[in-house]
Amino acid sequence: MAAPAEIQNHSTSAAEKQVLQLDRSDLIVTRAWIANKRVQSSDARTFPVENPADGSLIAEVADCGSAEAKAAADAAHRAFASWRKILAKERAAHLQSWLTQVKKNQEDLARLISIEQGKPLTESRAEVAYGAAYIEWFAEEAKRAYGDIIPETAPGRKIIVTREPVGVAAAITPWNFPIAMLARKIAPALAAGCTIVAKPAEDTPLSALALALLAAEAGIPEGVVNVVPASRKNAGAVADVWLNDERVRKLSFTGSTAVGKHLAQASASTLKRLSLELGGNAPFIVFEDADLDRAIKGMIAAKFRNAGQTCICANRIYIADAIYDEFAERAVQAVANLRVGPAGGDAEIGPLINARALVKVERHVADAVEHGARVLIGGKRHALGRYFYEPTVLVDVDSSMVLSCEETFGPVAPLFRFHTEEEAISAANSTPFGLAAYFYSRDIARVMRVSAALESGMVGINEAAISTEVAPFGGVKDSGYGREGSPYGMDEYLQTKYLCLGGLS
Ligand code: SIN
């Protein structure tokens, strides 16, 4: 999609820039990280990484391709032979040391996220803590990859079930949580005894590379964690190498459904284990018996986190007819208080990630208005220019509009009206996606009915902040399969082996 020609650059002030200065400038790694070494791309190509708030160049990063992808897989394969054999408690200790490094450098990591991703510093700090929580949780879980003993079916036999690491794992991660999404793939992989090759999104490779550097500083052996950055143009070449390499036994991907389906097809010839955390189109339903204060707070959290750029952001907000007007009025008041700005200030909403994202949000709003929606607040680019978009509330939204069936991934809250519980459930489920869903009600029978009826992998009931390392994150239908976080997330990196031991009597 073409970038809008008339985008104006916001100029970040010196004070804002100062807040985002790293204490450790060496955390900015601009080459691939393979076998604990910085590796330039074979033909010295680079691609620019820019701050989405002001367009300033942060770094030129190695634009890798098939040669570096293969080198990373070679390194991970070599390292797997010894990493899988060390004691689980030693792997746990390595993960704990990595956690210590991440915590020691947490402020710099948060600044790095803000610089390349644009989210406000408070959100970046929360993201680093969220990513660190996965490392901590899986460091503990490394010691609990238990097997089983099954009662024998014949005398003199033992039936033993063991869990083994699947092998080298590949991770392809998105730009919206550049640290947390990678940490929640690397940590369970390493805990299980797998080694990893990772390709971060082209918009945000620096956070991932810093995470790999810190893993090396924590003493994690060479080849266990490898990161291969690539531009949008070369990303396919990197992925293709891993998809076709039989030594890479597992792929974990977070991103769009279209790319997820392509990866599933392309990895079929090597029958890889897959975890696919794909697109969402989360419904957020407020019934007439809901606690409205809580529902408004929840809507702001579920809709406007990361400027609306999360896979579990509320995309369709269904409000019961009896409370529709009151909810709309209170939503506008709450949205009016959201501060928009660059990450170094006191903003709560940062810029969108790039011009494509901005154009998509504009297209969704224009289409909704064309089909009869009304803008109560926002509805246009922010005066700050660049990729900033005003937090928006739309009313009189219906299913004829594009934003009802596509993920907007921006700060736009569209309010749909419903009359009955059945109508709300049917509308919520009328999407191919099924990642997260939210609803607000104080009627316990309704809570149980609606939770069971919603077709989604995760349901927030009177709760919008559902992400946590202790629970299984993942979807159903076109939102993918596989889970991240919790013991279910560890299972994705383990395979089951059955031993039948005879001749014991
Ligand atoms: C995502 O947007 O894919 C992840 C969001 C989260 O973990 O909360």
**Residue 64: how many CB atoms within 10 A of its CB?**
30
Ligand 1 pocket mutation, candidates 181, 184, 304, criterion most atoms within 8 A of CB: 181
Asked if 277 is an active-site residue, the reply is: yes
Please tell me the predicted confidence (pLDDT) of residue 17. 77
Q: How far is CA 32 from CA 24, 47, 68, 389, 428, in A?
A: 19, 12, 8, 33, 43
Please tell me the predicted confidence (pLDDT) of residue 1. 40
Report the run of H or E that residue 191 belongs to, with start and end. Answer: helix 180-192
Query: Which tokens sit at 171?
Result: 């991770």
Ligand 1 pocket mutation, candidates 128, 177, 463, criterion most atoms within 8 A of CB: 177
Q: How far, in Å, from the CA of 438 to the mean position of ligand 1?
A: 15
Give the residue whose CA is nearest to atom 8 of ligand 1. Answer: 467
Q: Which atom of ligand 1 is nearest to the CA of 473?
A: 7
Q: How far, in Å, from the CA of 42 to the mean position of ligand 1?
A: 34
- Classify residue 381 by its DSSP letter: B
Packing angle, helices 324-336 and 292-304, rounded to 10: 50
> CA–CA separation, 387 vs 231, rounded Å?
20
Please tell me the predicted confidence (pLDDT) of residue 6. 67
Asked if 288 is an active-site residue, the reply is: no
Query: Which tokens sit at 447?
Result: 């809570």
> CA–CA separation, 122 vs 100, rounded Å?
21
Packing angle, helices 235-244 and 257-266, rounded to 10: 40
Give bridge partners of residue 252 from the DSSP assignment. 171, 275
Q: Which atom of ligand 1 is nearest to the CA of 180?
A: 7
Please tell me the predicted confidence (pLDDT) of residue 8. 73
Are residues 384 and 363 in contact, defined by beta-carbon separation less than 8 angstroms?
no
Question: Regarding beta strands 314-320 and 412-418, do their DSSP bridges make them parallel or antiparallel, or are they unpaired?
Answer: parallel
Q: Which of 68, 123, 136, 311 is catalytic?
A: 311
Give bridge partners of residue 494 from the DSSP assignment. 165
Give the residue whose CA is nearest to atom 6 of ligand 1. Answer: 467
Give bridge partners of residue 62 from the DSSP assignment. 46
Q: How far, in Å, from the CA of 65 to the mean position of ligand 1?
A: 27
Q: How far, in Å, from the CA of 484 to the mean position of ligand 1?
A: 10
This prediction has a pTM of: 0.96
Residues 364-419: tens digit of each pLDDT? 999 999 999 999 999 999 999 999 999 999 999 999 999 999 999 999 999 999 99
Q: Token match 């790999």: residue?
A: 212
Are residues 480 and 277 in contact, defined by beta-carbon separation less than 8 angstroms?
yes
Residues 8-41: tens digit of each pLDDT? 777 777 877 788 899 999 999 999 999 999 999 9
Q: Which atom of ligand 1 is nearest to the CA of 313?
A: 2
Q: How far, in Å, from the CA of 343 to the mean position of ligand 1?
A: 20
Q: Which of 68, 116, 127, 277 is catalytic?
A: 277
Q: Which atom of ligand 1 is nearest to the CA of 306?
A: 2
Are residues 259 and 416 in contact, defined by beta-carbon separation less than 8 angstroms?
no
> CA–CA separation, 372 vs 327, rounded Å?
19
Strands (E), 430-472: 433-434, 436-440, 458-461
Q: How far is CA 384 from CA 21, 203, 301, 375, 380, in A?
A: 22, 21, 23, 20, 11
> CA–CA separation, 482 vs 274, rounded Å?
7
For the chain, state the CA radius of gyration: 23
Residues with CB under 6 A from ligand 1: 176-177, 254, 277, 310-312, 467, 473
Classify the phi-psi angles of 453: left when phi > 0, otherwise alpha if psi is within -120 to 50, otherwise beta: alpha
Query: Which tokens sit at 378?
Result: 């926002």
Q: How far, in Å, from the CA of 181 to the mean position of ligand 1?
A: 7
Q: Which atom of ligand 1 is nearest to the CA of 277?
A: 3
HEC secondary structure over 263-296: HHHHCHHHCCEEEEECCCCEEEEECCCCCHHHHH
Alpha helix (H) residue ranges in 24-65: none
Low pLDDT (below 50) residues in the chain: 1-3, 5
Question: Regarding beta strands 458-461 and 436-440, do their DSSP bridges make them parallel or antiparallel, or are they unpaired?
Answer: parallel
